[in-house]
Chain A
Amino acid sequence: MSIEKGREITISVLKFNPRSKVSKPHFVEYKLEETPGMTLFIALMKIREEMDADLSFDFVCRAGICGSCGMVVNGKPTLACRTLIANYPTGILQLMPMPAFELIKDLSVNTGKWMDGMSKRVESWIHNDHEVDISKLEDRIDPDVANETFELDRCIECGICVASCGTILMRPNFVGPVGLNRVARFEVDPHDKRTAEDFYELIGDDDGIFGCMSLMACEDHCPKHLPLQNKIAYLRRKLVALR
């Protein structure tokens, strides 16, 4: 962390407002001085405050926890808030909105709408008819099983796996790695009473578990390092055995 003058960096952003009659997609370049520990969150806020108050992007936690700020940086989808400018030796960063999602404006895409659809499609909630008495001792869960469920529950729905996914380019209705991981998460959770047969009904087709081409860019880019490859393979083996 030095206090010397930082290098000049160039941030090039694809700007487009699909709601405007006159707007056309175009790149705009911003030049600014790098400060110690500068992330894309800090840089984009500075650009909005000092150079272009019209620039749209999404941040919420700015700490890599909420999954709001996925964007394509120099060709790779990533969380902008966790992107350190110092890791780009050329000092040139090209930013584009994530593909596969509805574009709102500039770098802002509607991941929320997509994730809501996915959650409803895989019925992303505990299925259990048993009425729990919350004044009584909780059901016991083996600590290792609880931990295994937690590991898959760490997904933050940032959409980076969807933006990385080759399959979704061919099958726009593909449930996505995030959807398959969600099924894997409920499959391992003892609270959920759904059977493999039930999950087959949800994802047992080419827009589900059998559609994945195993290119695995999802796992390469997942900011939470979820074991997507293993879990997709596991689900496929388990569900293919049913037919």
Chain B
Amino acid sequence: MKINYCDALVIGGGLAGLRAAVAAQKKGLNTIVLSLVPVKRSHSAAAQGGMQASLGNSKMSDGDNEDLHFADTVKGSDWGCDQVVARMFVHTAPKAIRELASWGVPWSRVKEGSREAVINAKKTTITEDADRHGLITSRDFGGTKKWRTCYTADATGHTMLFGVANEALRNNVDIRDRKEALSIIHENGRCYGAIVRDLITGELEAYVAKGTCIATGGYGRVFKQTTNAVICEGIGAAIALETGIATLGNMEAVQFHPTPIVPSGILLTEGCRGDGGILRDVDGHRFMPDYEPEKKELASRDVVSRRMIEHIRNGKGVPSPYGFHVWLDISILGREHIEKNLRDVQEICQIFNGIDPADEGRKGWAPVLPMQHYSMGGIRTKPTGESQNLNGLFACGEASCWDMHGFNRLGGNSVSETVVAGMIIGNYFADYCLSNDVTIPTSTVQKFLDKQDSYLNEILTYNGTEDIFRIKNRMQNLMDQKVGIFRDGENLKAAVDELEELLKKTKQINVKSKERAGNPELEEAYRVPRMLKVALCVANGALQRTESRGAHYREDYLKRDDANWLNRTLTSWPDENQTLPTISYEALDIMTMELPPAFRGYGAKGMIIEHDLSEKRQAIVDEVTEKLQAEGKDRHEIQHALMPFDLPMNYREKNERAGDL
């Protein structure tokens, strides 16, 4: 048995994993990153539109600060997030973006003088002040009070990923790609690393570490129609689940993005609407103002996605061989703007659909339809990023339920979370590795390796009639049809039942090639059962949650039910012979919230079943705020009095802004 020892093991080489690895390496730890693919090819690269951070440099973001970013994030989450974590996040985001600038991310900058912009379908002139020239600029995104989304044209994730990956190289982080973690090594409630398969040679190895951090991204590929890369299969969450100890949080919280292009599902960034693009129906009518008169196309993603489907159901969709869709019109932004700031969008439309979106009129409209986009759920952690149940197992980024997104994530908050969580959790993770030893016998490691080895051999001996690709496709179609944007009890129950059957059928397949290396079907055969467990957590969590909150929308329970459902779903898999997850709930405490539950400011009104404590807590918050204001305290002191929070390193320092100077 080959055992690789290290101080800190990071599984997943996207933005979150790499940034966490840099944090660990900088604290003197011997750090290894394992990745399915060369790290610069991670799904982080696909983030187009930008990263939220309240710098407040540009005209339209002037006056922005952590408080506004916090409120937008909590409202976006439909009060499902952990408000302490949201505070930790918004406070560190400006630091993250400035750090990335020093690592070479070529953020688009403020240019003094006047320029034309399209706001609410009208040409408007914006004039930037000379004293802001050269600072990092920002664009508009859905669900935000200010223009807060910083960007590098529409390749933000790409430039961030290269910046962080290059920094990892500079710090001599040991990065090993084409490696897949198959299981977590653990004993007596503590994690000691992972059993890993080399995707080139097929060899199994053990990686033993003082601490392990999972940063493997989301589980979008359990759905058919998704913007996610093909590697986003939720395997990191699945192997945490398979420990039987670690829990997953809010797996039913799945975001559907309004504007992937039809039929390929490739995302057209929210920046299209942020920059002034609009949605049109079969008659060419701009319909969003009819439903959301205030925020229009820039309400939160869950709201816009539902309104689009609602409008299609009202008979206003555009027919196509792939079903109905609506149009995204960015031609009104003008060719110059598109060719500078939305070039990748233009390329995607040209290459995959033969459309030039800069062409004026109907010719330039792109067919779009909401599809799965983001996984709010993931490995449930404490604010430090450590699993609530399995010591030494950390998670960050989309793989985790940290939980700053609750039931809906705001555009621009995900790439922002990756690097911010990498900074915060990476440092807590490093501290754990510094103060704990490896105390596991090699015989235990051998036992975990042998188990995976015999599992792979067992798969190759299956001699059934089922086909793993057909099982996977059926799962994905079920998730789209019955666990999608609109959900109800009957369909969810049917989905859970059939997914459970599919999980059983994964043992009745026949893998044609018996090779242990270079055998794509074998890889599907061990991944799909793990994906099905994740899908079962999503579907079952959705079935049990009899309310509508954020992206989780039940047509048979239309209201957000704070009285009964202000909690987080926890799923676990304590016995490997189970065919359904075990579910429990973790309550959210209104009396410690800085922002007690209320109306989000968009979406339908009067759709909340209030909790008794919301009003009570609001009265306390108002009283404390008024009192401290009268005493002349500043916003930082008032915030601290309402809901204190900690951060590692010097991240608690105040963020300087041009507007303060």
Residues of A with Cβ closer than 8 Å to B? 1-3, 17, 19-20, 36-37, 39, 48-50, 53-56, 58-68, 82, 84, 104-105, 110-112, 115-116, 119-120, 123-126, 128, 132, 134-143, 146-147, 149-150, 153-154, 156-157, 186, 189, 191-192
Contacts and interface: CB of A to CB of B under 8 A. Distances in A.
A74 B540 CA distance: 48
A135 B655 contact: yes
Contacts of B97: 138
B316 interface: no
Contacts of B469: 48-50, 53
Given A37-B352, A63-B348, A82-B351, A143 B45 contact: no
B351 A136 contact: no
11 contacts: A54-B515, A60-B229, A66-B43, A111-B38, A123-B170, A124-B166, A134-B96, A138-B136, A150-B106, A150-B153, A153-B106
Given A19-B201, A60-B229, A119 B166 contact: yes
B101 A137 contact: no
A134 B95 contact: yes
Contacts of B474: none
Interface stretch (B292-300, B517-525, B543-551, B567-575): B517-525
Contacts of B321: 1-3, 36
Which of the four size classes fits the interface of chain B? 35 or more
B657 interface: yes
B512 interface: yes
A64 B347 contact: yes
A146 B107 contact: yes
Contact of B46 (A55, A56, A61, A141): A61
A13 B350 CA distance: 27
B231 A60 contact: yes
B43 A143 contact: no
A124 B163 CA distance: 9
Contacts of B395: none
B101 A138 contact: yes
Contacts of A132: 98-99, 102
Interface string B498-539: 000000000000011101011111000000000000000000
A64 B264 CA distance: 12
B520 A154 contact: no
A35 B344 CA distance: 24
B612 to A, nearest CB: 41
Contacts of A120: 169
Contact of B158 (A54, A154, A191): A154
The 9 closest A-B pairs by CB, nearest first: A112-B38, A140-B134, A53-B521, A143-B109, A149-B106, A125-B170, A125-B166, A49-B469, A132-B102
B480 interface: no
B123 interface: no
A116 B175 contact: yes
Given A61-B41, A104-B178, 16 more contacts: A19-B518, A20-B518, A37-B353, A53-B521, A58-B37, A60-B230, A66-B40, A68-B41, A104-B518, A125-B169, A137-B656, A143-B108, A143-B110, A146-B107, A189-B104, A191-B104
A60 B37 contact: yes
A37 B351 contact: no
A38 to B, nearest CB: 10
B46 A65 contact: yes
B46 A66 contact: yes
B276 to A, nearest CB: 20
Interface of chain B, main secondary structure:
loop
A67 to B, nearest CB: 6
Contact of A39 (B39, B267, B352, B517): B352
B284 interface: no
Nearest to B168: A125
Contact of B167 (A56, A105, A125, A138): A125
Contacts of B166: 119, 124-126
Contact of A128 (B102, B133, B473, B650): B102
B634 interface: no
Contact of B106 (A68, A119, A147): A147
A128 B40 CA distance: 23
Interface string B69-103: 00000000000000000000000000111110111
Nearest to B340: A147
A136 to B, nearest CB: 5
A153 B101 CA distance: 13
Contacts of A49: 469, 473
Interface in B1-45: 37-43, 45
A143 B266 contact: no
A191 B166 CA distance: 14
B233 to A, nearest CB: 12
Given A140-B134, A191-B104, A66 B41 contact: yes
Interface in B640-661: 650, 653-658, 661
Contact of A139 (B101, B177, B348): B101
A59 B232 CA distance: 12
A140 B650 contact: no
B135 A138 contact: yes
Nearest to B199: A104
Contact of A146 (B106, B169, B344): B106
Nearest to B40: A157
Interface in B611-661: 650, 653-658, 661
Contacts of A139: 101-102
Contacts of B489: none
Most chain B CB atoms below 10 A, which of A82, A112, A157: A112
B152 interface: yes
A46 B134 CA distance: 49
